[in-house]
Amino acid sequence: MKNAVIISFLLFFLVGCKSTSSGIVTSKSEAEKKGMYTAPKHSKVVAKNTRKTTETSKATKKSRITESDDEDFVPDNENTPYLIQQLISSAKQYEGVRYRGGGTTTAGMDCSGLVCTVFNAYDIQLPRRSVDMSKVGEKLKLKDVQKGDLVFFKTSNRGVINHVGLVTEVRDDEIIFIHSSVQRGVIISSTKEPYYQRTFAQANRVLTEEHF
């Protein structure tokens, strides 16, 4: 009798396990088929570009206008082309900015950085280094230098051009130019100053008729 009870219990246990095992869900895919699970729908997330353009990334482009568009335009005595007057005026706005090697902004700029920034603002592209700038355009005699031309200097012991300025005025045989000096930042100087008279190398005209 006792053995019969034990055998009956084992048979009941085995039958129960078999029926229960058939209801076991072992994967999400199987659960989905039986309606016990629904996979979440993933929405696409579009990343927003939060990168901000800094002041040194691009020079602000100025609208190229002519003298007829400028109600405040007053011709100078030399009848200097309007574009050149714009370039000189823009360069003078940086007067007092401190020197910074490689700089091109009001936070600091070097000599070629000043010239490049001013010319680039009017869509006139120049090489970044002063020695490369000196190879652009027409090389001039001192008597032919005019406003808007570039003057170059050799201020190091290497004997190569390493400094540049923008001519703002010409007085007989004296050339006034704006540049960025290592010691004093953006200033206006003269080729009559002993230092620049001694280190002067050449002058170039980089503006051509197509620029006007």
Angle between helices 111-120 and 82-92 (to 10 degrees): 130
Up-side HSE of residue 192: CA atoms within 13 Å toward CB? 9
Active-site residue (options: 42, 116, 179, 211): 179
Fold of 67-211: endopeptidase fold (from Nostoc punctiforme) (3.90.1720)
Per-residue pLDDT of the chain (212 residues; tens, 9 = 90+): 555 545 555 544 444 444 444 444 444 455 555 554 455 444 433 333 333 333 433 445 555 555 555 555 556 667 899 999 999 999 999 999 999 999 999 999 999 999 999 999 999 999 999 999 999 999 999 999 999 999 999 999 999 999 999 999 999 889 999 999 999 999 999 999 999 999 999 999 999 888 88
Q: What is the residue extent of each domain of the chain?
A: 67-211
The Cα–Cα gap between 186 and 32 comes to: 74
Active site residue 179: yes
Active-site residue (options: 17, 42, 116, 163): 163
Active site residue 163: yes
What pTM, to 2 d.p., does this model score? 0.68
Active-site residue (options: 42, 111, 116, 211): 111
